[in-house]
């Protein structure tokens, strides 16, 4: 069985940074920081200004491991305990959920719930229920 690492300080720091960046994006540009919407708008931007802030945000997300390496001297450890096929299937399922749910966990879970959006609260509850069920089935029913 796969063991899950408990990392309260790193998790807290990550949560604070996500919350701060979402707040600053809303405060400065009046935009919701949903990762899927940011990426979609980067692929199909409405204008050059729209492309610029999305590209800067994505560059910050991608360059974070390099910043961690500069501070700690090593790249963050990443372990993916599933096959490439499982990652592809999971990606397709998430893509369908994002499409039908009109947003992702960062858009609904962080930004929408902070604005007390009933639609986002319902979407986040749905994400969480299915996440709990999936982990239970994979770990305790299938024994993976």
Q: Is 101 helix (H, G, I), strand (E, B) or coil?
A: coil
CA distance 135 to 115: 29
Domain assignment of residue 1, yes or no = no
Domain assignment of residue 114, yes or no = yes
pLDDT band at 107 (very low <50, low <70, confident <90, very high): confident
CA distance 107 to 32: 7
* pLDDT above 90 coverage of the chain, percent: 21
Query: Would the pTM count as exceeding 0.85?
Result: no
* Residue 121: per-residue pLDDT: 93
Cα distances from 143 to residues 1, 3, 19, 84, 107, in angstroms, run 7, 13, 35, 19, 32
Average of pLDDT values for 30-38?
85
Domain assignment of residue 126, yes or no = yes
Domain assignment of residue 129, yes or no = yes
Chain segment 50-103, per-residue pLDDT in tens: 899 999 988 988 898 889 899 999 988 877 878 888 889 888 888 888 888 788
pLDDT band at 28 (very low <50, low <70, confident <90, very high): very high
The secondary structure of residue 137, as a DSSP letter, is: I
User: Which structural domain, as residue segments, surrounds residue 54?
Assistant: 8-141
Q: What is the dihedral of CA 21, 24, 26, 30, to 10 degrees?
A: -130
Sign of the torsion formed by the C-alpha atoms of 16, 111, 32 and 96:
positive
Domain assignment of residue 16, yes or no = yes
Domain assignment of residue 2, yes or no = no
pLDDT band at 1 (very low <50, low <70, confident <90, very high): low
CA distance 50 to 48: 5
Please provide the average confidence, as pLDDT, over all residues in the chain: 86
Domain assignment of residue 25, yes or no = yes
Average of pLDDT values for 23-29?
91
Domain count, the chain: 1
Q: Which residue has the tokens 């993976």?
A: 144
């Amino acid at each position: 069985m796969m063991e899950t690492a408990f990392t309260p300080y790193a998790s807290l720091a990550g949560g604070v940074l996500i919350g701060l960046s979402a707040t600053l994006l809303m405060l400065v540009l009046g935009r919701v920081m949903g990762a899927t919407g940011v990426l979609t708008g980067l692929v199909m931007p409405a204008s050059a200004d729209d492309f610029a802030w999305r590209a800067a945000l994505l560059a910050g997300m991608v360059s974070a491991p390099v910043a961690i390496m500069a501070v700690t001297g090593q790249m963050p450890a990443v372990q993916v305990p599933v096959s490439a096929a499982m990652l592809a299937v999971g990606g397709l399922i998430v893509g369908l959920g994002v499409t039908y749910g009109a947003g992702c966990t960062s858009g609904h879970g962080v930004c929408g719930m902070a604005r007390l959006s009933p639609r986002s609260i319902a979407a986040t509850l749905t994400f969480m229920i299915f996440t709990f069920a999936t982990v239970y089935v994979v770990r305790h029913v299938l024994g993976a």
